[in-house]
Amino acid sequence: MKLRLPQLAIIPLCLSLLACTASAADETPDSVRAIFKSKFPQHEVTSVQAAPVAGLYELVVKMKRGAREEYTIVYADAKVEHLLTGDLIDTASRNSITEGRLEELNQVKFDFNALPLDKAIKEVRGKGERKLAVFSDPDCPFCKRLEQDALSKLDNVTIYTFLYPLAQLHPDAPRKAAQIWCSKDRAATWTAVMRNGAKLPAGNASCSTPLAELAALGEKLGVAGTPALFLPNGRMISGAVPVETIEAAFKAK
């Protein structure tokens, strides 16, 4: 996990001296919060609790991603003289404690059925009973990897692909997205391009597209990169994850 705190403020000398004279009895989550706030007043700490490692505290910091709030986690000693970022790993289970907490904290609250599914490329596999919405960029290599290595292996699923070209990264992606949307068979064209490596012909699309509306929707949901997957149970998954991750997410409550 990258450090997502902006440039840190300089600590006044008097606060440093105050922290140095604090006794062990004064070391509580509230005192850690107060010291952190004095050093980094621009950040809002929503909770502080003891971490699973002796002497460390977990601080949940509220951030902004697009139009929605997001939370990140930092670890600090009782006097906030040192900060740690990254994953805290449970060596017994080999699981990331940090990742689990972040998934819990940043679970996206949205109504899957309220999504503009008519503005998505729809692909039905088998009975199509399971639902999955994917924000994807036609020039994104990770989106192609997801399509080829994971989505192609799913069964009994209806996949709704929202075209989400990131022009700042892939300048030609909006043109390609528009061409795909304006094609006679959107699902077949999308599959050919993303899974089979087919190329679109040069030129511009000649129909109206929902790209502007989908860009606003993605910002509202906090989609900062592609691919981004949304499930009806409220889970959001980012990146070219393996099919096992998606299957596990379908089974999660």
Look at residues 128, 243, 120 and name the one whose alpha carbon lies nearest to residue 187.
Answer: 120
Residue predicted with more confidence, 17 or 235: 235
pLDDT at 229 over 80: yes
Look at residues 37, 28, 243 and name the one whose alpha carbon lies nearest to residue 152.
Answer: 243
Fold of the domain spanning 13-105:
Nuclear Transport Factor 2; Chain: A, (3.10.450)
Q: Do domains 13-105 and 112-251 have the same CATH topology?
A: no
pLDDT band per the 50, 70, 90 thresholds, residue 235: confident
In angstroms, rounded to a whole number, what is the distance separating the alpha carbons of residues 22 and 36?
A: 14
Q: Return the CATH class of domain 112-251.
A: alpha beta
Q: Give the model's pLDDT for residue 65.
A: 66
Calculate the alpha carbon distances from 146 to 15, 158, 218 in Å.
49, 16, 18
Domain extents for the chain? 13-105, 112-251
pLDDT at 21 over 50: no
pLDDT band per the 50, 70, 90 thresholds, residue 67: low
Q: Give 108-160 pLDDT, tens digit per residue.
A: 667 898 999 999 999 999 999 999 999 999 999 999 999 999 999 999 999 99
Helix 13-20 vs helix 29-39: angle between axes, to the nearest 10 degrees? 160
- Stretch 187-195: mean pLDDT: 96
pLDDT at 14 over 80: no
pTM of the model: 0.66
pLDDT at 190 over 50: yes
Calculate the alpha carbon distances from 9 to 44, 206, 218 in Å.
14, 52, 32
Give φ, ψ of 232 to 5 degrees.
-60, -20
Share of the chain above pLDDT 70, in %: 87
CB neighbours of residue 76 within 10 Å: 22
Q: Give 132-142 pLDDT, tens digit per residue.
A: 999 999 999 99
